[in-house]
């Protein structure tokens, strides 16, 4: 699922990995403007990207994407997913 999410996000970037572009996309999914993506926002992101996932799997995805264990996805973690593909 993470690789599918990554591919859909890359499509949104038009393969431009400039920070401005990545932040613009991040902001689309940061619905409460907290500068983080919560579990509910991750679920909304997946739905918006047309990826159907059971809630229990979204929790697992959050744990993988939240590399520093804060309980949310921060911009650096989001950008790392797109640019570096740490989940090959």
Contact 72, 36 (CB under 8 A): yes
Contact 66, 76 (CB under 8 A): no
pLDDT tens sequence across 49-66:
999 999 999 999 999 999
pTM of the model: 0.91
Can you state the percent helix, strand and coil of the chain, rounding each to 5? Answer: 60, 5, 35
> What domains, with CATH codes, occur in the chain?
1-11+37-88 (1.10.238)
Q: Distance between the two ends of the chain, CA-based, in angstroms?
A: 12
Contact 46, 58 (CB under 8 A): yes
Indicate the pLDDT class of residue 1, thresholds 50, 70 and 90.
confident
């Amino acid at each position: 699922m993470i690789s599918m999410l990554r591919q859909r996000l890359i499509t949104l970037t038009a393969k431009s990995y400039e920070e401005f572009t990545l932040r613009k996309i991040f902001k689309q999914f940061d619905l409460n403007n907290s500068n983080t993506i919560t579990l509910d926002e991750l679920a909304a992101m997946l739905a918006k990207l047309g990826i159907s996932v059971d809630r229990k799997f979204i929790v697992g995805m959050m744990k993988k994407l939240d590399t520093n264990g804060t309980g949310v996805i921060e911009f650096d973690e989001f950008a790392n997913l797109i640019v570096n593909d740490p989940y090959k």
